[in-house]
Amino acid sequence: MSNETWLITGGAGYIGTHIADEFIRAGKSVILYDSLYQGLEPRITYLRAHHKTEIPFIKADIRDYNEIEGAIRKYKVDGIVHTAALKAVGESMEKSDEYFQVNLEATNELIEIAKRNSVKKFIFSSTAAVYGSPDTMDPCTEDGPKAPISPYGDSKFQAEAKVTAFINTPGNFGTSLRFFNVVGTAAPQLLDNSVENLVPIVLGKLNKGQAPEIFGTDYPTADGTCVRDYVDVRDIARAHLAAADATSALPPAMNIGTGRGASVREIIDLVLQATNKSDTEVIQSPRRAGDPAFLCADVSLAKSAMGFTSKYSLEESIRSLF
Query: Binding residue for ligand UD1 (CB under 6 A) from 215, 245, 269, 321?
Result: 215
User: Which residue among 214, 242, 244, 246 contacts ligand UD1 (CB under 6 A)?
Assistant: 214
**End-to-end Cα, the chain, rounded Å:** 35
H helix or E strand, kind and range, residue 176:
strand 173-179
Sheet holding 121-127, edge to edge: 57-59, 29-34, 5-9, 79-82, 121-127, 173-179, 253-256
Residue 138 is a binding residue for ligand UD1 (CB under 6 A): no
Residue 266 in the binding site for ligand UD1 (CB under 6 A): no
Draw the binding track, 161-190, toward ligand UD1 (x: CB under 6 A; -: no contact).
Answer: --------------------x---------
Q: Does 92 bind ligand UD1 (CB under 6 A)?
A: no
| Nearest residue (CB) to ligand UD1, 17 versus 221 | 221
Q: Find the binder of ligand UD1 among 64, 69, 98, 213 (CB under 6 A).
A: 213
The interface with ligand UD1 within residues 224-263 (CB under 6 A) comprises 226, 228
Site membership for ligand UD1, residue 127 (CB under 6 A): yes
Alpha carbon distance 85, 156 (integer Å): 9
Q: How far apart are CA 294 and CA 139, in angstroms?
A: 8
CB 87 within 8 Å of CB 152: yes
Nearest CA to 127 among 163, 155, 165, 97?
Answer: 155
Which residues are bridge partners to 82 per DSSP? 9, 124
Catalytic position from the list 14, 33, 131, 152:
152
Written as one string, the DSSP assignment of 60-105 is: --TT-HHHHHHHHHHTT-SEEEE------HHHHHH-HHHHIIIIII
CB of 268 to ligand UD1, least distance (A): 8
According to CB under 6 A, which residues from 60 to 79 bind ligand UD1? Answer: none
| Residue 291 C-beta: closest distance to ligand UD1, Å | 4
Residue 271 interacts with ligand UD1 (CB under 6 A): yes or no: no
Within 168-297, residue ranges assigned H as helices are: 198-207, 233-245, 264-274
In terms of Cβ atoms closer than 10 Å to its own Cβ (0-12, 13-18, 19+), residue 218 is: exposed
Q: Helices 65-74 and 106-116: crossing angle, nearest 10°?
A: 30
Would strands 262-263 and 227-228 be described as parallel, antiparallel, or unpaired? antiparallel
When the beta carbons of 92 and 172 are compared against ligand UD1, the nearer one is: 92
Is residue 197 a contact residue for ligand UD1 (CB under 6 A)? yes
Q: Which stretch binds ligand UD1 (CB under 6 A): 8-16, 124-132, 164-172, 299-307?
A: 124-132
Q: Should residue 288 be labelled a site residue for ligand UD1 when binding is judged by CB under 6 A?
A: yes
Applying CB under 6 A, which of residues 43, 82, 87, 162 lies at the interface with ligand UD1? 87
Q: Could you tell me the smallest distance in angstroms from the CB atom of residue 126 to ligand UD1?
A: 9
312 included as an active-site residue: no
Could you say whether residue 201 binds ligand UD1 (CB under 6 A)?
yes
Q: Which stretch binds ligand UD1 (CB under 6 A): 118-126, 138-146, 213-221, 245-253?
A: 213-221
Return residues touching ligand UD1 (CB under 6 A). Answer: 87, 89, 127-129, 133, 150, 153, 181, 196-198, 201, 213-215, 226, 228, 264, 288, 290-291
Q: Which residues are catalytic?
A: 152
